Chain A
Amino acid sequence: MKNTTHFGFKQVATNDKQSLVRDVFNSVASKYNLMNDVLSFGAHRLWKHYTIASSNVKISDKVLDIAGGTGDLAIEFRKKVGDSGQVILSDINAAMLNEGRKNLTNKGIFGVEFVQLNAQQLPFDSNTFDCVSIAFGLRNVTDKDQALKEIYRILKPGSCLLILEFSTTDSVLLKKFYDFYSFNIMPKLGGIIADNEASYQYLAESIRKHPNQETLKNMVLDAGFDFCEYHNLSGGIVALHKGIKV
């Protein structure tokens, strides 16, 4: 690994990135769900709905949601796998996991396990899961290649990885609007609603630093996956990558 890496548009020591990301999510945890709805105009729910619809998860499956935060995906996976299945909601950040726990309890969802972990070192046996998901989490991970390799290891043959993440739009008009919105409006809203302009500035910057659709697809294949394809959502502002381990 290189000695420095990006944290938004800043270059920081690789060893420092994890704690900087932790600070961001510590500071937004309590307002995270509200901000998600406001900033995406509710569209994050639809992107997640599409992710679940593409998951191929069924009754009795074992599913791991990485960087799961407040647990939106875990809730839906829990409904799909039933009592005979297993869903683990995991995140590196204890504050986010706590929000997840509260959210699930408030929604009457029980039976989901919570594990605090770093996507780069997954504490599970090889060939364990039928599906692993990571939504809006990969761009925060310091060593993405390592995380992808770990995910590949713990997936069973005949199972899939789903990466839902901000991506790159080809539409010039959409890009203009999106750039203006994310660098001028989003941080301001973060300041007003969550009293945290800097974290939402990081959010906007980290999206721009994240690999585009094709680069991420190649990273998934390089990690060992036999197949990978992606679907652009909302004109490519978000993409869902699906990696298959045969």
Chain B
Amino acid sequence: MQSFAIFWHKQAVILERALNHLVINSRVNIDALNGKTIGLSLQDLPLDVHFICANNRIFVLSATDKSTDVDIKLKSMIFISLLQGEDLTELLRQDKINIHGDAKTAQLLVDLLKEVDIDLEEMASKHTGDIIANQLGKLTRKFNHIGTQSNNPFKIIKDGLSTLLINPIKSKRYKHKNS
């Protein structure tokens, strides 16, 4: 569980970049979320993220004790089904999801996450060390693509190298198996 928390911490950076990439390229409109702070926690995983939307950008932070405008609590499998298109209102009605605050805002966040070009479903569904290590490669590849916003091989290599040297756990070359 500890390794998942560290793993997620790093992924928050990746997710933030991916979301803002969508905003910059006008693929999503976040006006309706402006000024909102939304907490998302998975009850069966040590995953607790805050999405802060302001100044036409989104910040993704992990593990803060600040209160939020909207708080979403759910199990990882329910999160996955939401991302796969399950109806939020229906899940609410079935008590499978716990929302404090405005459900419309929660829906907007879910819609946004559906657009993101990283595999959140796999990220949330698999949380044993080996699988995480496995996932890192995929995520890093996507991260490189999003992060560089270009096909410049030099930048991709530079990003990969940075990842390896300063955050080895995120690197494609990371071979160590977490326990």
Contact call A229/B61, Cβ cutoff below 8 A: yes
- Which of the candidate stretches A53-61, A91-99, A112-120, A189-197 sits at the interface with the other chain? A53-61
**B94 contacts the other chain (CB 8 A):** no
Query: Which of B56, B59, B158, B162 is close to A160, meaning CB atoms less than 8 Å apart?
Result: B59
Say whether A227 contacts B166, CB under 8 Å: no
* Selected contact of A246 from candidates B52, B159, B161, B165, CB within 8 Å: B52
The answer to whether B50 and A158 touch across the interface, beta carbons within 8 angstroms, is: no
What B residues does A54 contact at CB under 8 A? 13, 16
Q: How far is the CA of A111 from the CA of B60 in the complex (A)?
A: 31
Among A53, A130, A226, point to the contact of B66 (Cβ < 8 A): A226
Q: Contact check, B166 vs A53: say whether CB atoms are below 8 A apart.
A: no
Q: Which of the residues B61, B158, B162 comes within 8 Å of A227, measured between beta carbons?
A: B61
Selected from B63, B66, B162, the residue in CB contact (under 8 A) with A50 is B162
A191-234 vs B, Cβ < 8 Å mask (1 yes, 0 no) = 00000000000000000000000000000000000110101011
Task: Give Cα A46 to B165, complex, Å.
Answer: 8
Shortest distance between the CB of A239 and any CB in chain B (Å): 11
Question: Which residues from chain B contact A157 at a C-beta distance below 8 Å?
Answer: 54-55
Q: Are A49 and B13 in contact (CB under 8 A)?
A: no
Min CB gap A27→B, angstroms: 30
Closest A residue to B63 by CB, please name it: A229
The answer to whether A156 has its CB under 8 Å from any CB of chain B is yes
Q: With a CB–CB cut-off of 8 A, which chain A residues contact B9? A: 231
Q: What's the nearest-Cβ distance from chain A to residue B142, in Å?
A: 14
Interface residues in B, total, Cβ within 8 A: 30
Q: Is B114 an interface residue (CB 8 A)?
A: no
Q: For A59, list chain B residues within 8 Å (CB).
A: 24
Q: Residue A130 contacts which of B50, B55, B64, B161 (CB distance < 8 angstroms)?
A: B55
Taking the complex as formed, is B147 at the interface, i.e. its CB lies under 8 A from any CB of chain A? yes
In the bound complex, residues from chain A placing their C-beta under 8 Å from that of B55 are 130, 156-159
CA separation between A68 and B166, bound complex, in Å? 22
Write out, one digit per residue, whether chain A residues 233-246 have a CB within 8 A of any chain B CB (1) or not (0). 11000000010101
Given contacts A50-B166, A157-B55, A158-B35, 16 further A-B contacts (CB under 8 A): A46-B162, A46-B165, A46-B166, A49-B158, A49-B159, A49-B162, A54-B16, A56-B16, A156-B55, A226-B66, A227-B52, A227-B59, A227-B66, A231-B10, A233-B166, A233-B167
> Could you write out 19 A-B pairs with CB less than 8 Å apart?
A46-B165, A49-B158, A50-B162, A50-B167, A53-B17, A54-B13, A56-B16, A56-B20, A58-B24, A58-B57, A130-B55, A158-B55, A160-B59, A226-B52, A227-B50, A233-B166, A234-B165, A246-B37, A246-B52
